[in-house]
């Protein structure tokens, strides 16, 4: 039986994070929407270069097996393009062999508004304004930054590291430290020692990754030759 999306680990990624759209974005900003449309149509067959989130997305999707019941990961594309101008993006997805089949082309609107519909636990974007807007309405989002790191495609393991304060748990303890100093922080910690910290903005994402990792451990226990998919640090 195929995995229903309600039971999958789902990450939503903006097209600007998955691919390098710098040239086309420059056309849009400097020459307007009509010139942008013409540019996209003229370059429709040109494959886009990988963007800052490409290595992460590629490794996440490699966790899936070939059987329909062994595909716990879903990546959903969210794009400010409309379907017409977004055709180049999907042709690039096909060129790289990424198994991404779900997408929302929102024609200039906020793409993250579709996260709940796709059961996504995280929205990744290269646009800081989109990330801030998503966070303001209570959605888990993160900006993917450019890096000079050269991805080695031979290294297939995905490693994820988390900060704790303000990410997995909320930053209320840090707020007490800033307002009351070290003594106030220690007093608060002693008084609330028996209570768990409230969840942070990426708590669900962290929980989903942890659940996925346990699933991979179980696969390796049943089939020792199964490759290790990823590591989790916090």
178 lies in some domain: no
In the set 152, 163, 165, 187, the catalytic residue is: 163
163 is catalytic: yes
Count the domains in the chain: 1
Give whole-number Cα distances, 72 to 68, 105, 140, 147, 213, in Å.
9, 24, 20, 28, 11
168 lies in some domain: no
Q: What is the pLDDT of residues 113-151, one digit of tens each?
A: 888 888 899 999 888 888 888 888 888 888 888 776 667
What is the domain extent for residue 134? 5-155
Residue 180: alpha-carbon gap to chain centroid:
36
Of the two residues 131 and 178, the one the predictor is more confident about is 131
Contact 122, 142 (CB under 8 A): yes
Q: What's residue 95's pLDDT? A: 94
Strand partners, 125: 143
- Per DSSP bridges, beta strands 102-105 and 73-79 are parallel
Give the 3-state secondary structure of residue 195: coil
Q: What is the pLDDT of residues 34-80, one digit of tens each?
A: 888 888 888 888 899 999 899 889 988 988 888 887 888 999 998 88
Lowest mean pLDDT among 160-164, 190-194, 229-233: 229-233
217 lies in some domain: no
Q: What's residue 2's pLDDT? A: 57
191 lies in some domain: no
CATH number, position 45: 3.40.50.1000
Q: What's residue 233's pLDDT? A: 45
Q: pTM of the full predicted structure?
A: 0.77
Strands (E), the chain: 9-14, 73-79, 102-105, 120-125, 141-143, 158-161, 230-233
189 lies in some domain: no
């Amino acid at each position: 039986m195929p995995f229903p999306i309600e039971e999958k680990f789902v990450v939503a990624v903006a097209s600007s994070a998955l691919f390098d759209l710098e040239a086309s974005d420059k056309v849009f900003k400097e020459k307007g929407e009509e010139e942008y449309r013409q540019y996209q149509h003229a370059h429709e067959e040109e494959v886009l270069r990988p963007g800052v989130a490409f290595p992460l997305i590629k490794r996440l999707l490699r966790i899936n097996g070939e059987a329909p019941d062994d595909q716990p990961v879903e990546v959903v594309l969210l794009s400010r393009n409309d379907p017409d101008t977004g055709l180049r993006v999907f042709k690039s997805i096909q060129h790289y062999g990424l198994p991404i089949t779900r997408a929302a082309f929102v024609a200039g609107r906020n793409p993250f508004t579709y996260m709940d519909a796709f059961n996504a636990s995280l929205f990744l974007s290269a646009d800081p304004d989109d990330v801030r807007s998503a966070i303001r309405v209570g959605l888990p989002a993160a900006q993917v930054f450019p890096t000079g790191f050269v991805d080695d495609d031979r290294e297939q393991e995905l490693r994820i590291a988390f900060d704790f304060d303000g990410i997995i748990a909320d930053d209320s303890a840090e707020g007490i430290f800033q307002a009351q100093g070290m003594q106030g922080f220690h007093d608060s910690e002693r008084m609330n020692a028996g209570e768990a910290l409230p969840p942070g903005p990426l708590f669900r994402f962290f929980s989903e990754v942890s659940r996925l990792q346990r699933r991979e451990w179980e696969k390796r226990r049943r089939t020792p030759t199964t490759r290790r998919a990823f590591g989790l640090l916090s």
